[in-house]
A and B are shown apart, each in its own frame.
Chain A
Amino acid sequence: MIFLELELNGAQITCDVEPRETLADFLRERCRLTATHLGCEHGACGACTVAVDGEATRSCLRLAVMCQGQSVQTLEGLENDRTMEVLRRQFHENHALQCGFCTPGMLMMARDILLRIARPDAEVVRNQLSGHICRCTGYAAIVKAIVAAGLELGRADSRNHA
């Protein structure tokens, strides 16, 4: 076991973890933060996307021990986040989820897109979202919701990382 210290949704936490434990399993099994969903466990589906040090990250492709000293944000920690608030409402209004399994990953990636790119159009969103699979195939509504959220948030709220 390895002693792990990291910031999780704004709180400092410490924990002993096995080296082979992915960040996704750490979040779900040890921290009981089950908004992060595990689909494929090899980086293809995007359902487990979280933010590590502010960057969108596949939590199934990151070992918990590699997050030593880093800051991890999951959907649970973004309840009062302005971007996520708008995204949640737009997903609701645009019927952007059916079974909901892919939704946490979609929301985390959508937030990442809107923080990097101001007012993305549908083509940009489709491209940026291409690493996320929705097996209900509800992509049209998801793209629509993210485009609408981008327009609502406008340029003022978006900062370009580049």
Chain B
Amino acid sequence: MKAAPFDYVAPKTVAEAGASLAGPGAVAIAGGQSLLPMLNLRVALPDLLVDLGGLQELREVTATAGMIRIGALTTHAAIEDGKLPDGFGGLMQKVASRISYRAIRNYGTIGGSMALADPAADWSGCLMALGATVRISGLQGARSEPVDAFIRGQYSTSLNPDEIILGFEVPRPDTSLRWGFFKVVRKSGAFASSIAFAVAYGRGGPVSVVLAAAAGRPYSLPRIAECIRAGETAEEPLRAAVAQDVAPLIPRDDPYLMRLHASTVLRAVREMQAR
């Protein structure tokens, strides 16, 4: 199908973008790799499309000793190709390489993906596991928020209509970081049925385990994380902890979903423990 008519502006500054987005029926577009299908299928019917592609400051990537700042317009392909300074042992590169298809990754952006907040998207869970913060700008000024608070639910974030994501701040581990990442996809490139991230800082340090695509938004799994931090490697206690963590996220009495998410999480955990 073809998109219904809309107007189009390409602001040159973040302030201009905010002013355009504050108007009725305005929708922001970054890479457009999710929005274009929605426009073509007329699921999305904006009056005005505000193209963020010209905002140079959203493209900036900088690294300091303590953190990596990733501009919202950074594409999945750029991350896949290792164009980001890598502070996370290749985790983000691996995640990027498994998003959709190369032609989509060439335009799809990390900021666009986060703003859409699809429950089966990869970056929200990954950035949550890495303890990242979202930098946001709007007519009232700039603000920052942890990813965990930014993502409200299915296709829902804390963004006000006039606000856009500037980028992300991901704290760089000062010790070695071990990670595991596993996702179940029925066809390569399709949205996942289950995605798990496991991240451990040093030996005995903080551990984060996040499950995405199971519910409306990604969730941290505290019991399995604590189990791993305590040095547990035996199958039974890990399985029990995962089951407890996953149970509240899925419909009751669904053995398939329980097995699906539990194995996704355990495979991510095993991959991390093997590093």
Contact = CB atoms under 8 A, between A and B. Distances in A.
A127 interface: yes
B188 A109 contact: no
Given A127-B188, A131-B189, A162-B82, A60 B8 contact: no
B24 interface: no
A41 to B, nearest CB: 5
B154 interface: no
A42 B51 CA distance: 19
Contacts of A22: 2-3, 36, 40
Contacts of A18: 5
A116 to B, nearest CB: 8
14 contacts: A20-B3, A41-B40, A43-B33, A43-B104, A46-B101, A46-B103, A49-B103, A55-B77, A61-B37, A130-B187, A130-B189, A131-B100, A131-B101, A162-B81
A109 B105 CA distance: 13
B77 A42 contact: no
A90 B102 CA distance: 23
A46 B39 CA distance: 18
Given A20-B2, A20-B3, A112 B36 contact: no
Contact of A43 (B10, B37, B53, B187): B37
Contacts of A62: 32, 36, 107
A57 B106 contact: yes
Interface of A: 2, 18-20, 22, 25, 41-43, 46, 49, 55-58, 60-63, 65-66, 68, 109, 112, 127-128, 130-131, 161-162
Given A22-B40, A61-B36, A131-B103, A68 B82 contact: no
A interface majority secondary structure: mixed
A43 B37 CA distance: 7
Interface string B1-37: 1111111101000000000000000000100110011
Contact of A66 (B32, B187, B188): B32
B9 to A, nearest CB: 9
A117 B41 CA distance: 34
Contacts of A43: 33, 36-37, 104
B54 to A, nearest CB: 9
Contact of A112 (B33, B37, B102, B107): B102
B49 interface: yes
A64 B181 CA distance: 37
Given A61-B33, A63-B36, A66-B51, A20 B106 contact: no
B interface majority secondary structure: loop
Q: A-B pairs with the 10 shortest C-beta distances?
A: A131-B101, A19-B8, A42-B37, A61-B36, A130-B188, A55-B106, A20-B3, A56-B103, A162-B81, A41-B40
B210 to A, nearest CB: 25
A109 to B, nearest CB: 7
B32 A61 contact: yes
A112 to B, nearest CB: 7
Contact of B107 (A2, A61, A130): A61
Contacts of A60: 36, 40
Q: Output the residue of B40, B53, B102, B188 with the most chain A CB within 10 A.
A: B102
A104 to B, nearest CB: 13
A80 to B, nearest CB: 23
A23 B4 CA distance: 15
B49 to A, nearest CB: 6
Interface string B74-111: 00010001100000000000000000111110110000
Given A22-B36, A42-B41, A56 B3 contact: no
A159 to B, nearest CB: 13
Contacts of B1: 41
